Structure 1
Amino acid sequence: MPKLLLYLLFTLFPLISFSQIKITGQILDTNNNPIEFATVTLLSLENEIVKGELSNETGNFIVELNTGGHYQIQISYLQNILFEKEIVVTENMDCGMIKVENYILLDGIEITAYNQPKIVKEIGKYVVSNIASSPLSKNRTTFDFLGTIPFVNNNPDGNSITIKNRKEAKILINGREVGDKGIALNILKSTPAEDIKKIEIITSPSSKYSAATQNGIVNVVIKKNNEGLKGAVSSGVSQSYYNSQNANANLTYSKNNWFVSTGIGVNNYRFKSKQNSIYKDYINQQQTHIEFDNNLKNKTITPFVNIHYDLTSKQSIGVQFNSSFRNNSTTNTSQNEYTSLANNSVDSLNQSTIKSRNPNFKNLFLNANYSLKTDTIGSNFELNLYRFAQDNNTRITNVFQWNNGSQSILQQPDVDMEFYNVVADYTQNFQNEDVLKFGINYSNGQTNNRFFHGNYDGVEYVSDTLRSNDFKYNDNTFAAYLMYQKLLGDNWEMELGLRWENYEGEGLYENTSVEQKNNYLFPAVSVLFYANDNNEFSLDYRSSFIRPSYSNFNPNSYYTSANSYKRNNPNLLPILSHSVVFNYSFLKHYSLDIEYDYAKNTFNEFDIVRPNGLIETITDNYGKGYELYFGFTYNKHFFNNRWNLTASLFYTYDKSDGIYNGIDLGFDNTEWGLGLKNFVYLNKTKDAILNLSYGYGSANRSILGEMNAIHSLTFELSKTYKNFNFTLGAYDLLRPTLELREERIEYSFYKRQEYFKTAYFRVSYFFGNRNVKSISNKQGKMSNRVE
């Protein structure tokens, strides 16, 4: 059977006709004047250039092809896209007159252009294109540009990207994994936005993707045009409680069959947090008051390289190597005050210092890939091989000082992880635009966690055999998927998918075995309906899961203060969830989302006060819950497109039921919030931009406790001068102190965490072969039809 499958994938291709096929047309402006020297490019569905020609003095063009197929025709001038449309070519084709309503002013010459990003809704996702022509992309990084998309939020501290109401999204580059989150973010911060062909905001990932991508995917597709050598360098400094510095560099070379991209990020980050916590144990009539002062130092170097080579017009290979090297250092000082609730008197006082050092933390990621086009309408086979390795050896020294003495312990988790993954995908496109996709996936993970717990005897740290262990975990995952996408008439589109995942994991420690075996089917259904240009509906159903992280599996405990500790849990089950999302987009500026989510085996990290008075932080499955979400988004340009406004409003109701060790953890929660993103062009050339973003979230309830309302305000001023960009900004300007409260029959707690405002300044320089030097844009509309 495998031999037969390979034979079908690699040898059964359509016959090729070598007769010339001509595509003709004429490019005109709105006054029916011809446009000369416009570039007419035919691209494959994989975004690779097939053929290109220039229009003549009458605006006419002729593009000759050897074979028919499914292509995208693109008309541009000085890198500004005038027109894009997918076409199916089976014989000579006359596109007729292509009219464009926009124009830009360049050295006194008016030409047409479309200078705003195009956002198109597709099955389960939004596709953002025409990025390079937007003023918001000029001399800015891809990470910065993502924050300008209406339903995407890039955290101003640079540590995460979210989609709508979801948590952190998964980041792919050219449809592939790139390693851990830090590596992916560094690539986005190093890559110029003008180098991006398109961005896919996948709100409802299809069956092709892992069932653990319930928070959505951001897939960034980089251009592979023949533009020679170019690059960018940037350097920034931020001031919060401490001063931090960072620098990024990117270099790309694209010529003929080669595309090479490489870069590096360097970060010297310091962070301070202060927390005040009061725990009350009503059973033992004891109160513990803990004051934490935490200081973090993090030095990171993140190099990456991506090499792509076209073997033929149908076959390509690639390799990428990404890595991250960190030197982490944390010092946490705390004071524990113990008070009797009976007589309100202080029983004892303890001061502790916990120093955590990890000077050699590293992540290494390698990907090798092969791609084969199996016909001329976009069908293809892809094979990806992945390897990821992590070395994390942390030395945690705890010194506890009591009124009558002191104690010193050493906690040292030495963790080595190695993962291998093989992914094979096949896509079959049909002439009627239906699409069939199927694939298989196998992954293997090996984790070796050597945890040392030692007590200091005056000379050295002596291992505590009851707390030290050597934990080894090995798992295997098999997955397969099948999905079919079909057009149902001119206005309807539907996608059906099914994914199967089989997981087997085993952990060994001290002659004890911990096993997890599960076998799941994850169905998915998506429907998209185009009523007309002003009304669009979509409905998506998806089932998914969240697996526990490998750090949870070693059944050890480590102290966070004199009477508080954190305990891992090797018996955690994955969260299984089902979601239904309805979206209605109307009048081109409005979007309404209604989402229902149900989950069982829910787990999270939470605090409890044990009957012995110790404070335990534990991650465990505690029950089930559901959530109902309403979201409304408005996006529009004002004042001749000088002001881009995105306003969003949401309301959430969620309910959770669960019990842990006889403690009822259930809760009901209602929450609402709003967000405003403003991008204002401060001059006619649109090279000075003001960004003001405000967010509000009401008080809410979760497994963590009751949290106060949160405000946020981000200010950013950006100015482009020639090939330079200067950015000055600040965030957390209105953010209050975070407060968490919990009141139960057995215990209660109150936590207060202080935030510090942050200001930053960044300089970027872009160099190399850049086709567009200085363009003054005037916005209008573009015709989406070929007349």
Structure 2
Amino acid sequence: MKTPILIAALFFSGLTLAQQKKQDTAKTQNIEAVTLKKQVFKKQSDRFVYDVAASPVAKGNTTFDLLKQTPLLSTTDDKTLKIAGKNNALIYINGRKTNMDADSLVQFLKNTPAENIQKIEVITVPGSEYQVESSDGIINIILKKKMSDGLNGNMRMANSQNKYNASSASFSANYRKDKLGISANLNGGENIDAQQYVLRNGNASSSNESTGNIDDPNKFIGGYLNIDYQLTEKSNLGLTWNSSANKSYNSTVSLFNTIRSLDPDTQEYNINYTNSRNKEDARSYNNSVNLNYELKTDSLGSKLNVNTAYLNYKRFQFTDNKTFYADALGNNLSIDPAQTIYQNLPQKINNFSGMVDYIQKFKNDLTISIGGNYNKTKTDNDTKNDTYKNGEEPEFNPNHFIYDENIYGFYLTAEKKFSDKFSGKIGTRYEITNSLGTSDNAAPEYKRIERNYNNLLPYVSLNYAINDKNNISYAFSSRMRRPSFWELNPVRNILTEDNYTQNNPFVKASSTYNQELTYMFKNSYFLILNHSLFKDVITQVPLQRDILKERRDANGNVVLDPVTNQPIMDSHKQLRYIRTNFGNKQEMSAMVGVQRSFFNQYLTTNFNIGVQRNVNDGSLSVDPTSGDVFPTYENKISSTSIIIQTNNTIRLDKKKTWFLGINYFFVDKQQIELGLLKNLMSLDVSLKKNWNDWTFALNLTDVLRTNIVEIEDYQANGNYNYVRNDQFRRGGTFSITYNFGNQKVKKVRSIEGASDAIKSRTR
């Protein structure tokens, strides 16, 4: 069920993305000894470089597993990647952003073997040429170059067990003959996402408590087809098609609600019980096609890149939410619900994009880059919300919301290597955004929402190699974050009768200013100082107020006043999670770490420890979607927390066929927009066996069962809010990977799609 509060996503936002396949196995043992003696982790200009070629960490792992073990990278929800000091981590391949939507890429990352990776670049402060938002960083995956013609590929099967069993499989093939290259992938599987919630909110006079489970079954299939043809020695033409589908039928939410209200006359609490029974059927489809032309204009590496793309995304969601009066044991008092809400929540997105980049290199180590992009997007959301209550007329609330957006972007950067020790880069990006949201069933003030704004986004970075052991660098960038399309669609996602999330068409873009100072010693030890300022932060804000409802007896009947014979009204607590702009925020962090091998490469370790300070400054008292007034929700609290991450690979035999992995992370409690997020931690263990072209792996996650989200908040006005979300992360996965064919096949060019900047905003 996608509709609940999405607590983890609020903190570890963002969405991340993809990869491809494989590595030479015939020469693996000869290469390993050489590779591990190299500088496997180093700072280069505006990025960190992690050389993982032929490393035992890569073989038999998925791409997602490998990224989790890369220095500066971490994940707390096993779905999204986070760069230290950043929000989201965007995945690039060979300098090009991956051409898939977020949901499909997550599955692709977890179903694609990682043997083909040469190195991973972590760009903590991207330059002006990158279309990134907010404080996003970039993970650039460099694939191995394979030169001969032929066919190769891999097959992978995996089975996982946490609360429920899940299975997945993938098949990849790569073919090259002379000037033609073709690569393809097909992956699929099924799983049930399980969650357990405890929700409490209220004050001394009234409160709600909801406890129960969410089960979301999913069946998915996806893949891609890349065709690359060398027109001449200097030009290439590429076509990429990506497709994915997900079916989630019979998702269920089952919550038991306890509603308390203080009787002002008797000073005793009246307690009512209800059951919320939600069912949802949803399916989504994503198809995109991208055409790329690349022309090399000189021998220095200057080139022209032209992309055009089309993206079509569809999601169909049908829900019915039933509320039953219940007794203290959770038994329904009637077979008929007291209230039923039917919702039809479709989302359709069409996007056309174009992008032109030109890079001119000069002999004096100067590089000038110039380019532009255009995105035209239309979303169509024809929603229906029908409410039926016993003894009352049905209430129908349709809303047809259409959103049109045009984005024009231009950038210019200059990069200069002044000496072997000193280099710098300066640039700027100028973006023009014109958008119009229309709603044919809304109040007059909401029928037409027009936004036009321009942004100038400067960037600068400096890098100085003091000597062969010491390196220092500084970077500054300014970015903006546009709301995702689903955040703008003004619909309610109902959890219980009095608890729901509300999207907001009035959300405006936020601004972010990032600074980073980095020191590197011996290409193994590093210190990173980071500061980010966020203005008009886009987030969910919990607003709660008291509303009056008819008192019910144990059988669900209305209780009447014996004197007036009128229904007795009790105070109930209503909670809305409103998607909106919520003030400003600062994040400051200091991180020290080490990446190196010990004991003749029997132990490879990646260890980071740091401190992060969050400074929040936001308040809200009016629901911007309805104008309803609430007691002020305020978050002007700061927090300082410790973050620890360590990934260790232990070689168990001389032949380098058995490996033990021990990974651990700890995130101290810290203040976020929703309140105080309590500490999170997880211990993961893996065992891997390499045997010729086969790899067998067993991965155990969250062994101590400590990765459970808890958030609590107490307001000065007496309101409190508590959330506990258990996603059953403890589990195990057994996988088998087989590599076949000629392992020297040259990889097809990876091409950045012109619509990539739009895809991350679909979900």
TM-score calculated relative to the size of structure 1: 0.80
Corresponding residue of 2:421:
491
Which amino acid counterpart does residue 603 of structure 2 have in structure 1? W
Match of 1:765 in 2: 738
Q: State the match for 1:740 in structure 2.
A: 711
Residues 500 and 575 (structure 1), Cα distance of their counterparts in 2 relative to 1, 3 Å cut? same
Cα gap change, 1:176 to 1:749, in 2 (>3 Å): closer
- State which drifts further: 425-434 or 558-567: 558-567
Alignment partner of 1:216 out of 118, 122, 137: 137
Note the C-alpha offset of 1:760. Answer: 1.1
2:274 corresponds to 1:350: yes
Once the two structures are TM-superposed, the CA of residue 191 in structure 1 deviates from its matched residue by 4.5
2:310 paired with 1:387 = yes
Q: Say if 2:591 is the partner of 1:659.
A: no
CA distance in 1, matches of 2:358, 2:393: 56
Structure 2 vs 1, CA of residues 522 and 593 (structure 1 numbering), >3 Å: closer, same or farther? same
SS in 2 for 1:548: coil
TM-superposed CA distance for 1:199, in Å, is: 3.2
* Cα shift at 1:187: 4.2
Structure 1 554/302 Cα, relative in aligned 2: closer, same or farther at 3 Å? Answer: same
Structure-1 residue corresponding to 2:99: 178
Q: 1:626: Cα distance to partner? A: 1.4
Q: Is the 8 A contact 2:587 2:613 kept in 1?
A: yes
Kindly provide the amino acid, as one letter, of the partner of residue 244 in structure 2: S
5+ long unaligned stretches in structure 2 = 1-23, 327-332, 548-572, 622-631, 746-763
Amino acid at match of 2:130: Y
Instruction: Tell me the residue number matched to 1:677.
Output: 647
1:456 Cα shift? 4.7
- Are 1:566 and 2:501 counterparts? yes
Closer, same or farther in 2 for the Cα pair 1:247/1:173, shift >3 Å? same
- After superposition, the CA RMSD in angstroms is 2.5
Structure 1 686/759 Cα, relative in aligned 2: closer, same or farther at 3 Å? same
Q: Measure, in 2, the Cα distance between the counterparts of 1:140 and 1:442.
A: 38
Q: Would you say 1:455 and 2:387 are equivalent positions?
A: yes
The AA in structure 1 aligned to 2:732 is A
- For 1:520 and 1:623, locate their aligned partners in 2 and report how far apart those are by CA, in whole Å: 19
Following the alignment from structure 2 to structure 1, what is the Cα–Cα distance between the partners of residues 186 and 422?
45
Q: CA deviation at 1:249?
A: 1.2
Q: Which residue of 1 aligns with 2:658?
A: 688
Task: Kindly indicate whether the alpha-carbon contact (under 8 Å) linking 1:156 and 1:714 is maintained by their aligned counterparts in 2.
Answer: no
Q: Contact between 1:179 and 1:388, CA under 8 Å: does it hold in 2?
A: no
Secondary structure, in 3 states, of the residue corresponding to 1:573?
A: coil
Q: 1:489: how far off?
A: 2.0
Deviations 1:524-566 (A, max 9, x none): 0000111111100110001011111111212233421011122
Structure 2 distance, partners of 1:575, 1:633, is: 31
Letter in 2 for 1:152: L
Q: How much does 1:210 deviate?
A: 1.6
The equivalent residue for 1:475 is 405
Name the CA distance, whole Å, in 2 between partners of 1:327 and 1:292. 23
Distance in 1 (alpha carbons) for counterparts of 2:493 and 2:54: 53
Measure, in 1, the Cα distance between the counterparts of 2:62 and 2:39: 15
Partner of 1:162: 82
The corresponding residue for 2:285 is 362
Measure, in 1, the Cα distance between the counterparts of 2:36 and 2:613.
Answer: 41
Matched, 1:234 2:156: yes
Matched with 1:318 is 238
Alignment of 1:691-706 (within 5 A): 691-706=661-676
Residue in structure 1 matching 2:432, options 479, 486, 502: 502
CA distance in 2, matches of 1:552, 1:435: 39
1:712 to 682, 692, 711: 682
- Asked if the contact 1:171–1:181 (Cα under 8 Å) also holds between the matched residues in 2, the reply is no
SS of residue paired to 2:338: strand
SS where residue 288 of structure 1 aligns?
Answer: strand
Shift of 1:749: 1.8
Structure 1's 287 and 589: CA in aligned 2 closer, same or farther, altered over 3 A?
same
Cα 1:646/1:132, change in 2 over 3 Å: closer
Q: 2: distance between equivalents of 1:771 and 1:495?
A: 36
1:243 corresponds to which of 144, 165, 175:
165
Kept after mapping to 2: 8 A contact 1:400/1:562: yes
In the superposition, the TM-score normalised over structure 2's length comes to: 0.83
Question: Structure 1 regions of 5+ residues with no counterpart?
Answer: 1-75, 81-102, 773-787
1:615 aligned partner: 575
Question: Which whole-Å CA distance do the structure 2 matches of 1:457 and 1:624 have between them?
Answer: 41
Distance 1:113 1:631 in 2: 26
Displacement of 1:166 in angstroms is 2.4
Structure 2 Cα separation of the partners of residues 573 and 653 of structure 1:
26
- In the alignment, the residues of structure 2 paired with residue 142 and residue 250 of structure 1 have an alpha-carbon distance, to the nearest angstrom, of 13
CA distance in 2, matches of 1:678, 1:112: 20
2:589 aligns to what?
629
Q: Find the aligned partners of 2:697 and 2:705 in 1 and give their Cα distance.
A: 22
- Amino acid in the other structure paired with 1:758: G
| SS class of match (1:137) | coil
Are 2:724 and 1:752 aligned?
Answer: yes
User: What's the CA shift for 1:755?
Assistant: 4.5
Give 1:154 deviation, angstroms.
5.6
The aligned runs of 1:249-288 (5 Å cut-off) are 249-282=171-204, 285-288=205-208
The partner residue of 1:584 within 489, 502, 519 is 519
- Which residue matches 1:89? none
SS at match of 1:143: helix
What is the match of residue 377 of structure 1? 300
Structure 1's 228 and 198: CA in aligned 2 closer, same or farther, altered over 3 A? Answer: farther
User: Counterparts of 1:649 and 1:606 in 2: how far apart (Å)?
Assistant: 31
Pair 658,145 (structure 1): closer, same or farther in 2 beyond 3 Å: closer
Correspondences of 1:770-785 after superposition (within 5 Å): 770=743
The aligned length equals: 664
> Deviation of residue 194 (structure 1)?
3.4
Instruction: Classify 1:578/1:322 alpha carbon distance in 2 versus 1 (closer, same or farther; 3 Å).
Output: same
Q: Rate the CA distance shift 1:463–1:250 in 2: closer, same or farther, 3 A.
A: farther
Aligned to 1:414: 346
Q: From the CA coordinates, give the structure whose radius of gyration is larger.
A: 1
Structure with greater proportional strand content:
1
Partner of 1:336: 257
Amino acid at match of 1:353: R
Name the CA distance, whole Å, in 1 between partners of 2:31 and 2:254: 61
Which moved further from structure 2: 501-510 or 703-712?
Answer: 703-712
CA contact (8 A) 1:718 1:726 kept: yes
**Alpha-carbon distance, 1:732 to partner:** 1.4
Alpha-carbon contact 2:498-2:575 (below 8 Å) kept: yes
Structure-2 change in CA distance of 1:422 and 1:281 (3 Å):
same
Tell me: higher relative CO, structure 1 or 2? Use CA pairs within 8 A at least 6 residues apart: 2
Q: Closer, same or farther in 2 for the Cα pair 1:352/1:185, shift >3 Å?
A: closer
User: For the structure 1 residues 307 and 417, does the alpha-carbon distance in structure 2 shift closer, same or farther, using more than 3 Å as the test?
Assistant: same
SS at match of 2:466: strand
Secondary structure at the counterpart of residue 394 of structure 1: strand
1:112 and 1:654 mapped to 2: Cα distance? Answer: 43
- 1:112 and 1:734 map into 2 onto residues whose CA distance is 37
Matched residue SS, 1:672: strand
Judge conservation of contact 1:310–1:316 (CA < 8 Å) in 2.
yes
8 Å CA contact retained: 1:672, 1:697? yes
Structure 1 residue 200 displacement after superposition: 2.8
Q: 1:269–1:168: structure 2 CA closer, same or farther, 3 Å change rule?
A: farther
Deviation for aligned residue 1:344: 5.1
CA 1:156–1:727: 2 relative to 1, 3 Å: farther
Aligned-residue offset at 1:211: 4.2
Residues 408/105 of structure 1: CA separation in 2 closer, same or farther (3 Å cut): closer
Q: CA deviation at 1:304?
A: 0.9
